[in-house]
Amino acid sequence: MSRLIDSRIEEAYEVLDTGVALSYDLACALAELHGEAVPDLLSLANKVKNRYAASGGAVHSCSILNARSGSCAENCRFCAQSLHNAAEVDRYGLMERRKVLEAAGRVYARGVRHFGIVTSGYGYRTVSPEFERIVSLVRELQQEYPGLKVCASLGILGEETAAMLASAGIAHYNINIQVAPDRYRDLIADSHPLEDRLDTVRLLQRHGVAVCCGGILGVGETMRERVDLIFALKQLEVSVIPLNVLVPVDGTPLEGSPAVAVSDIVKTFALCRLTHPDKVIKFAAGRETVMKDFQGLLMLAGANGFLTGGYLTTRGRDIEDDLMFSDQLRHFSESRA
C-alpha cells in the first residue's frame, strides 16, 4: 500500500479485509488525523459500508412525527421541548388518530417505508390510556399501509410497556444515550440517570425489539469522548445508530454554541462505521443546517441512512430531494458485477 497513506489508516484496512471492528486504541489514534489524511479515512469507511452494510448502495431513510410536543419535565440541555428551557415551541398532547394516519400516509406515498411516532416526556414506565392509544396506532398504521415499518421513540419504558410494543411488532425503538456515559449528567441532563435509558435498551432487546440508539455531537464533548460514545454503543449491541449534530436553539443552555468542525463530524461518522461495520448509521439533525454543502460527504464517510422530511422542532429536507439524493449515492457503491 502506498506510503502516501497514513500508517494508522493502513492498519485500519484490516476492518475492510475481515469485517472485524476497530480496536479502541486505534480508533483514538485515527481520531487525531487531520488535513489530507481525513479524506483517506472517509474512503476506507465508505468501502467498509459498501461491503458490509449497504449492499447495492441501499440507503435507510425514515421520517418521524412529533406526536406529542413540549412540556417535558426533563432538563436535557439541548432540547427545545424541556420545561426547564425558554425555547418557543408548539405544545400539544398526543395527536388525534386521524392526524397521525394522515402524516404517515404522506410519507408512505412518497416511498418512505420507516415511520416513527415520537412523544416528548420522560416515558411510559407503566401502561396508561395514552400508551394504549399509541400501541393501537402502531397496529393501525401497519394495517393501513402495507410494508410500512412503524417505529417509536417514547422515552423510558417498563417491563409491561416494552412487552406491549414488542407484541405490536414495532420495527425499531429509538432511545439515545447522547454522549459518552460518564459525561451524560454534566453535558445532557441530571433530572434522570443515564441508567434509565440503558435499562430501556436492554429491556427492549430482551423482548426482541431492534433498538435505534445513538447520540449528539457539539454539546461540549471532546473528540476522544466521541470515540467513547461509539464504543459504548458497541457494548450495547444496538441495531441502528443515529448521529445528530447540535442545532443550537434559542432559549436553551446551548444557545449560541460554536459549530463542530466539519472535519471532526466526518471523522466521527467514519470511526463509527469502522467500529460498527454492518450496522445502519443514520445522519439525523444538523444535516442541512450544519453540514450544508458537505452533507453528501457524510454519506461517503460511512453513513447509510438519514432522517427525511423534518425533525421534532426544526425543519428538514424535502422528501423528494432526499430520494433523488439517495439514488445518486448509489453511484458511489461498490460494483457487484
Please report, for the domain that includes residue 262, its CATH number. 3.20.20.70
Residue 176 belongs to a domain: yes
Q: Is 212 annotated as a binding residue?
A: yes
User: Does 99 count as an annotated binding residue?
Assistant: no
Within 13 A of 245's CA, how many CA atoms are on the CB side? 24
Q: What is the pLDDT of residue 326?
A: 55
**What does the pLDDT read at residue 56?**
67
Give the pLDDT of residue 295: 83
R_g (Cα) of the chain, nearest Å: 19
pLDDT of residue 312: 47
DSSP code of 23?
A: P
The helix/strand/coil state of 281 is strand
Mean pLDDT by 10 residues, the chain (337 residues): 82 98 98 96 96 82 93 93 89 96 94 95 97 98 97 98 98 98 98 98 98 97 98 97 94 94 96 98 84 86 85 53 58 53
Helix (H) or strand (E) holding 187: helix 184-187
The verdict on residue 92 lying in a domain is yes
Q: Report if residue 275 sits inside a domain.
A: yes
Res 308: pLDDT: 82
Chain-centre distance of CA 88, in angstroms? Answer: 24
Within a domain: residue 295? yes
pLDDT number for residue 294: 86
Question: What pLDDT does residue 296 have?
Answer: 85
Whether 279 is covered by a domain: the verdict is yes
The range of the structural domain enclosing residue 149 comes to: 7-327
The CA distance from 151 to 64, in Å, is: 9
28 marked ligand binding residue: no
Is 272 flagged in the annotation as binding? no
The verdict on whether residue 62 carries a ligand-binding annotation is no
CA nearest to 112, candidates 62, 173, 174: 62
In a domain, 1, yes or no: no
Residue 217 forms part of a structural domain = yes
Question: Does the annotation flag 234 for ligand binding?
Answer: no
DSSP for 35-88, written as a single string: TTHHHHHHHHHHHHHHHHT-GGG--EEEEEEEEEBS-B-S--TT-TTBTTS---
Name the domain count of the chain: 1
pLDDT at 292: 80
User: In the prediction, which pLDDT does 327 show?
Assistant: 60
**Residue 313 has what pLDDT?**
45
Domain assignment present for residue 162? The answer is yes
